[in-house]
Amino acid sequence: MFFKKKQTGQDIQSADMRKVVQDTGLSHIAFIMDGNGRWATGRGLPREAGHSVGVKTFKKTVTLCRDYGIQTVTTYAFSTENWKRPENEIREIMRLLDTYIKEARDDNEKNRIRYIFLGDKAGLDPRIQEKCTFLEDLTHDNPLTLNIALNYGGRSEITQACNALIAKGKAVTEEELSSQLYTRESPDPDLIVRTGGEYRLSNFLLWQAAYAELYFTECLWPDFDETELRRAILEFSGRKRRFGGV
């Protein structure tokens, strides 16, 4: 008797991953990149060092998602609650973002990524606001969409969408509300991956997550690698998505 070996992520080729992504209709994957601080303190380093490695991990993850044929990637870079962090940590996250945006601009021809920032830009430093808007405009026609949630909160996103409809004198329907969300240009996420061993959404994509598959791993974000990504996708491919049906 033969047993089909359970695939773990290590024993599968990139081409096979493309097929898994295609066959399962995984078009939008979202990440809650948790565990940067613990990764750093566990090594006797300042928390900021974890964020710095976290950005590198993020860049590699986006490249892998693209190689697998995933069309939309979303990440939670900075929440409306993250302002409660120590000032120097916030400053460092914003500095990393600034560098990331600059590199994204310089690499536009090579990467062909469309950047969209989700969140309340008005709460950001005006120089960052300007750079975000510039990058969004520059990359508007690129094929792979990368949503970066920055000064983002799911509840405030839904609230502002309702208020926008009220201001227009429109009735609040699911369709109208979706059209007012920061994510209006993306399909809902198929899969949300959270690293760092916490089992919650933390105010991320609350409306959009209605039928998303959730995947949690103990792996701290800076350690999230190709094997971990494949594990998440393979787990997703084994889920039965019923969308409320049977």
Q: Residue 131, interface with ligand FPP (CB under 6 A)?
A: no
Please list, in sequence order, all residues whose beta carbon lies within 8 angstroms of the beta carbon of residue 124, skipping any fewer than 6 positions away: 132, 150, 151
Q: How far is the CB of 128 from ligand FPP (least distance, A)?
A: 11
Q: Are 196 and 220 in contact (CB under 8 A)?
A: yes
Query: Nearest-CB residue to ligand FPP?
Result: 37
Candidate ranges 30-38, 64-72, 161-169, 170-178; the one touching ligand FPP (CB under 6 A): 30-38
Residue 199 CB neighbour total at 10 angstroms: 7
Q: Residue 196, interface with ligand FPP (CB under 6 A)?
A: yes
The C-alpha atoms of residue 56 and residue 5 are separated, in whole angstroms, by 32
Q: How far is the CB of 194 from ligand FPP (least distance, A)?
A: 10
Sites for ligand FPP among residues 55-94 (CB under 6 A): 55, 58, 75, 77, 82, 93
Which one, 51 or 114, has the nearer CB to ligand FPP?
51
Candidate ranges 28-36, 136-144, 172-180, 181-189; the one touching ligand FPP (CB under 6 A): 28-36
The C-alpha atoms of residue 130 and residue 76 are separated, in whole angstroms, by 20
CA terminus-to-terminus distance, the chain:
32
Q: Let me know how many helices (H) and strands (E) the chain has, helices first.
A: 9, 6
Q: How far is the CB of 53 from ligand FPP (least distance, A)?
A: 8
Please list, in sequence order, all residues whose beta carbon lies within 8 angstroms of the beta carbon of residue 43, skipping any fewer than 6 positions away: 49
Q: Which of 156, 165, 154 is nearest to 210 (CA)?
A: 154
Number of residues that bind ligand FPP (CB under 6 A): 19
Residues designated catalytic: 34, 82
The C-alpha atoms of residue 33 and residue 76 are separated, in whole angstroms, by 7
DSSP code of residue 244: T
33-62 footprint of ligand FPP as x/- string (CB under 6 A): xxxxxx------------x--xx--x----
Q: How far is the CB of 28 from ligand FPP (least distance, A)?
A: 17
Q: Residue 100, interface with ligand FPP (CB under 6 A)?
A: yes
Rule CB under 6 A: which residues touch ligand FPP? 33-38, 51, 54-55, 58, 75, 77, 82, 93, 96-97, 100, 148, 196
